[in-house]
Every structure is written in structure tokens, then in C-alpha cells.
Amino acid sequence: MKDTGHRRTELVEARDAFVAHWGAIGGAWGINRTMAQIHALLLVSTRALSTDEVMEDLRISRGNANTNLRDLVGWGLVRSVVRKGERKEFFEAEKDVWKMFCIIACERKRREIAPAVEALADCGERTKRLAGAEAKEFNAMMNEIGDYMKLFDNLLDRIAASKHARFVKWAGRLIS
């Protein structure tokens, strides 16, 4: 059997690998690496962490930590925790993975999908009365892409509104 110190080292290494990887994929979510790393650190932490602890663990500046913690609180992925007798502010992540997924999906919808749907509708509206094959083809493409974006937008709404178990059952039928 491995000793406790060795197991602790393996746990820390695995945790650090997760934090690094989560940070690397943050760009795919539309957030910066540090914000994703802070989220990952809080996600796997067994207790709420102070800004100083986040700074020390990730080796980042106070300004960087404060800005990204505020953004994570704004997203609803992290909440501020007050401890009796403490002047410091502590932070903990939403640990319910389904809620976390829905929060991220809704935020991406608001930041990316809604503006794209609006831009496509504007391009389609501006070109719908233009003559010529090129203009008609462009307009048709804007409308088709817009239809798919609206479909995806509605799908995200339904996913976020559904309960975890109901969604998993539906997704299971879809992939089977």
C-alpha cells in the first residue's frame, strides 16, 4: 500500500493537471485561461479559498485574481462566502455539474449566439430585396445559417430549462 505522503503528492499533481487543462480549454468557452484556472481550482477545492490563496496557488497578481473572481461571480459559477470573524472574502465554486453546464451554456448563448442570430437577421433583412443571383444566394445563406443558429438557441433554452435526469434520458435516446 502506498504511503499517505505519496498519495497526497499524486492528488496534488492530478489536481494541478486538471487546473492546467481546464485553463487551456477556457478559450473554447470564450473565457481567458486564468479565469478558467481559478474556476477549476475552486471547483476541486474542498473549502472556500481567499483571494490570497488563489493568488499563491496559481502564482497570479492580485489584480488578475480580483478581476477574474468578480467575473466568475458575475457568471454565477462562483459565490462569495463570508466567514464569521474574518475580514477576508472567500470564494467557492458551484459544485453541481449540471447547474455549472447550464450557467456556461446560458452565458455563451447571451454573449455569442444571440449576437450572431441578430447579425444574421440584419444581413438577411438588408439583402432580401436586392436583385441578382449573388445577392439572392447570399440572402439564402444568411437565412439558412440563421435558422440553424435559432434552432441551436432554442435547444440551449430547452436544455437549461430541463432537469438533469430528463436531459440525460433524452440525450441517451438521441445518441442510441
Query: What are the tens digits of pLDDT across the range 49-71?
Result: 999 999 999 999 999 999 999 99
pTM of this structure: 0.75
Mean pLDDT calculated for residue range 71-95:
92
| Bigger pLDDT: 157 vs 37 | 37
Under the banding of pLDDT at 50, 70 and 90, the label for residue 169 is: low
103 within 8 A of 75, measured Cβ to Cβ: yes
> In the prediction, which pLDDT does 87 show?
87
Under the banding of pLDDT at 50, 70 and 90, the label for residue 132 is: very high
Under the banding of pLDDT at 50, 70 and 90, the label for residue 171 is: low
73 within 8 A of 80, measured Cβ to Cβ: yes
| Polymer length of the chain | 176
> In the prediction, which pLDDT does 33 show?
94
Question: Out of 17-26, 35-44, 52-61, 107-116, which region has the weakest mean confidence (pLDDT)?
Answer: 107-116
> In the prediction, which pLDDT does 21 show?
94
Residue reference for cell 486564468: 34
> In the prediction, which pLDDT does 3 show?
65
**pLDDT tens digit sequence for 106-128:** 888 888 889 999 999 999 999 99
pLDDT value at 30 more than 80: no
